[in-house]
Amino acid sequence: YDGTLTAMAPTPGLAAPDRSLLSLLRTLALQPATEVHVVSGRDRATLDTWLGALPVGLHAEHGLWSRLAAGAEWVRAAAPATLPREGDVLNLLEDATRRVPGSMIERKGTGLAWHYRLADQRAAADTVRGLRGALARLLEGEDAEVMAGHRVLEVRVSGVNKGTAILPVVSDLPASTVVIAIGDDRTDEQLFAAAPPDALTIHVG
């Protein structure tokens, strides 16, 4: 969603789709023999609010939750129920937020994201490096991973990603199906890797 269907916004809540984008997605999804899926790091409540009325598949929190069609129930992927050492992770992120003006923490179902889009990037650089190292040490051996995105560090349960999200979608497709995967972030590389070998993968940037 972010950086692909919409431009990156200063804060997560400012990237709501406009009428033009909603119309585009609906028109595309209603084409014959066509399915559209949006795979996002966003939480399912946000995707439901913004895109829930469209005839598209939705995959929230990098595939932790999926809703394959409009009106269908959300289904949770097999993954740990809570983020390991969540309290300690939150303490590290809160400390970084105090030291980097303009940064913020976003809570998700089984993870936490630290955004620093509004922070001075030069001032944030050292904190980002230190935070990544501290999180790696804290979570060593745990079922959790740290993902770096566009001016965001996300800590989430491991074993679930945008690639695992689309496997049920593409595994039973007829051989003649054309699969197109589009994304802008490092997390989308997992999506590209899970697509069929003859898929068209597009990096937006």
Task: For 52-79, write each residue's pLDDT tens digit.
Answer: 999 999 999 989 999 998 889 999 998 8
Residue type, 46: T
pLDDT digits 0-9 by tens, 147-159: 888 889 999 888 8
Average pLDDT over residues 40-55: 94
Instruction: Compute φ and ψ for 104, nearest 5 degrees.
Output: -155, 160
Dist CA 36 CA 181 (whole Å): 10
What percentage of the chain has pLDDT greater than the value 90? Answer: 71
Give the SS3 label for residue 175. Answer: coil
pLDDT digits 0-9 by tens, 101-142: 999 999 987 789 999 988 998 879 989 999 999 999 999 999
Q: What is the pLDDT of residue 186?
A: 86
Instruction: Compute φ and ψ for 38, nearest 5 degrees.
Output: -110, 120
DSSP code per residue over 101-139: TT-EEEEETTEEEEE-TTS-HHHHHHHHHHHHHHHHHHT
DSSP classification of residue 179 = -
Structure tokens at 8: 């990156």
Q: What is the pLDDT of residue 1?
A: 95
Structure tokens at 131: 């935070």
Q: What is the pLDDT of residue 151?
A: 87
Q: What is the pLDDT of residue 69?
A: 86
